[in-house]
Amino acid sequence: MEVIKVDETSKNRKKKVGLPPGSIIYTGENPQHKVNIEFIAYNDSIIKREVFDENSNLSILTHDFKGVRWINVDGIHNTILLKKVGKLFDLDNLVMEDVANSTQRAKVEEREDYLFIVLKMLNIDPITKDISYEQISLIVGDDYLLTFQESPGDVLDSVRSRIESPNYRMRKKSVGYLTYAILDSIVDYYFMVLDEVEIEIDKLESKVINDSEREDLQSIINLKQKVSTLKRTIGPIRELITKLQTKSIAEYLNDDIKIYLSDLSDHGIIVCDTLEVLNTRVTELIQLYHSTISNEMNEIMKILAIISTVFMPLSFLTSMYGMNFDNMPELHTKYGYFILLAAMFALVLGMIAYFKKKKWL
């Protein structure tokens, strides 16, 4: 999984302009990796696992197997391979066009013989806290599941581990349950990413309250952009899961996973609610920052005003005795200088005491 680069994606998306529907054009970042095809076939007694490259004979993917077949393709930039896989499984070119388009919004589509699902996988770097976004497309058939990813690395290792272990119920379940397990794993990582973002907000909020700096504004803006991207990217998950529970689509996934989809729906609702809370908190954090900076500025202005007020009568006294009049008796007093200093000092002390009494200091 890679950190998304919007400028590169936008540039590649322009390649589709003017082309007819069904044109399979990759719109993501320029790839730097080879295509990898993972084939897993299993039932309650056996499991087969093989890995192919783009030049392999892929006819084995469609061989009859009494169980579930999961074909995972890493590398949707190879449109020739996408066309080949689409032909093997008799997939509509419009569907394969959407698979290659890495800017799809999360959605579910019913086809005659299969179900088409698109959503985003998220992960977060534990050190840099950069969030990676990757589109994953699922095509659910009667006894097979096709998944298409942009690059190597995903959040589905837990699903693979459960398939490999004979003690898990997955080996006895249908392709619908495998679909649920993949969606559940993806949503679990949504929670992990959102938890990290919440921690980031907590830290920044504490810093703004206790020791606000000008540089904090840029950090808050970056955080706001991050939350906005998350909201736009994974916000539709609730709508997607709700649609999976409709009667017509549930037929593709079998009746035995209804209860699991209900649980997944609850998770989707929590994800969306958490997104709203985070978005509100970041907005309030911007307001808190401006309020804190404004209060600090007011404190500075108050101190400057007090200093000006203290020196105002002192300036008056020094100006008065600096006038060039010959008849100023105080100028010839033996202790006049010290008396003036004492008066000025007493005046300053009196003003400070008054300010403290008024709690201006």
Quick one: average pLDDT of 7-36?
Answer: 69
Residue 14 binned pLDDT confidence (cut-offs 50, 70, 90)? low
pLDDT tens for each residue of 165-188: 877 778 888 899 999 999 999 999
- Please report the pLDDT score of residue 94 as a whole number: 93
Is the CB of residue 43 less than 8 Å from the CB of residue 64? Answer: no
* pLDDT above 60 for 9: no
pLDDT band at 336 (very low <50, low <70, confident <90, very high): confident
Place of tokens 């997955």: 170
Distance CA 29, CA 13 (A): 10
Across 2-16, 208-222, 317-331, the highest mean pLDDT is recorded for 208-222
Q: What is the DSSP string of 312-347?
A: HHHHHHHHHTTS--S--GGGG-TTHHHHHHHHHHHH
Q: Is the pLDDT of residue 211 over 50?
A: yes
Nearest 5°: the CA angle 242, 120, 171 is 70
Phi, psi of 302 (to 5 degrees): -65, -45
Q: What is the pTM of this model?
A: 0.80
How far, in Å, CA of 158 to CA of 33, rounded?
Answer: 24
pLDDT tens by residue, 25-77: 888 776 667 889 999 999 888 899 999 888 888 888 888 888 899 999 998 88
Record the tokens describing residue 22, joined without a space: 């069904």
Average of per-residue pLDDT across 204-224: 84
DSSP of 196-217: HHHHHHHHHHHHHHHH--TTHH
Alpha-helical (H) ranges within the chain are 6-13, 79-88, 93-100, 157-164, 175-211, 216-234, 237-244, 247-253, 258-320, 336-357
133 three-class SS = strand
Using DSSP's 3-state secondary structure scheme, residue 111 falls into: coil
Dump pLDDT digits (tens) for 76-95.
Answer: 888 899 999 999 999 999 99
What is the distance of C-alpha 206 from the center of its chain? 21
pLDDT single digits (tens) 112-121: 889 999 999 9
Whether 197 and 278 have beta carbons less than 8 Å apart is answered as yes
Task: Give dist(CA 292, CA 210) in Å, integer.
Answer: 9
Angle at 306 between CA 302 and CA 312, to 5 degrees: 140
Which one-letter amino acid corresponds to residue 104?
Answer: Q
Report pLDDT for 290. 85
Residue 306, pLDDT > 80, answer yes
Alpha-carbon dihedral 3, 5, 6, 8, rounded to 10 degrees: -150
Output the pLDDT for position 185. Answer: 94
- Percent residues over pLDDT 70 in the chain: 93
Question: Is residue 227 predicted with pLDDT exceeding 90?
Answer: yes
What percentage of the chain exceeds 90 in pLDDT? 40
Q: What is the dihedral of CA 212, 213, 218, 222, to 10 degrees?
A: -40
Between CA 19 and CA 249 the distance in angstroms is: 31
Cα(11)–Cα(327) distance, rounded to whole angstroms? 87
65's tokens: 């197997």
Tell me if 208 sits within 8 A of 288, measured CB to CB. Answer: yes
The structural domains of the chain, ordered by start, are 6-291 (3.30.460.20), 321-357 (no CATH)
3-state secondary structure of 56: coil
Looking at residue 140, its pLDDT comes to 94
Confidence (pLDDT) at 12? 57
Q: Are 143 and 136 in contact, with CB atoms under 8 Å apart?
A: no
Cβ proximity of 181 and 159 under 8 Å: yes
Contacts of residue 17, defined as CB under 8 A and 6 or more positions apart, other chains included, come to none
Q: Is pLDDT of 108 > 90?
A: yes
